[in-house]
Amino acid sequence: GAVVSQHPSWVICKSGTSVKIECRSLDFQATTMFWYRQFPKQSLMLMATSNEGSKATYEQGVEKDKFLINHASLTLSTLTVTSAHPEDSSFYICSARADSYTIYFGEGSWLTVV
């Protein structure tokens, strides 16, 4: 079946640096992808909607300059956490919409900022 792949699965970075997480739809084209953040023992919080060829739409309270989203192709969206700080440490999950009623999730990416 369709698969959404995230890379890296886990990453450790130093405070102040930037880190990029990729989300790929492997066997379908996704004009829309979504990025979520999940803290331990909490739900998935929608951060932004990534639209191929246009700017991402961010949810209220999410800093667009800190969480840069690029959806340059129909199979790839990237999330860049800029000037990362320890409070940005979290589990980041992407999903890709295959059709009106089908959304596939990636396996998530663990970010630890030290």
Partner 1 sequence: GESVGLHLPTLSVQEGDNSIINCAYSNSASDYFIWYKQESGKGPQFIIDIRSNMDKRQGQRVTVLLNKTVKHLSLQIAATQPGDSAVYFCAERGGYNKLIFGAGTRLAVHP
* Chain centroid, CA 38 distance in Å: 11
> What would you measure as the largest C-alpha separation in the chain, in angstroms?
40
Among 13-21, 46-54, 68-76, 81-89, the segment contacting partner 1 (CB under 8 A): 46-54
Looking at the DSSP bridge assignments, the partners of residue 90 are 111
The residues in 52-71 that bind partner 1, with binding defined as CB under 8 A, are: 57, 59-62
| Residue 45 in contact with partner 1, rule: CB under 8 A | yes
Q: Which is nearer to partner 1, 20 or 91 (CB)?
A: 91
- Provide the minimum distance between the beta carbon of 88 and partner 1 in the complex, in angstroms, as a whole number: 14
Among 14-22, 63-71, 73-81, 88-96, the segment contacting partner 1 (CB under 8 A): 88-96
Q: Which is nearer to partner 1, 17 or 102 (CB)?
A: 102
Q: Residue 18's closest CA among 56, 76, 65?
A: 65
**Separation of alpha carbons 108 and 34, rounded Å:** 12
Token reading at 107: 């396996």
**Separation of alpha carbons 15 and 52, rounded Å:** 30
Residues that bind partner 1 (CB under 8 A): 6, 32, 34, 36-37, 39, 41-47, 49, 57, 59-62, 91, 93, 95, 97, 100-101, 103, 105-108, 110
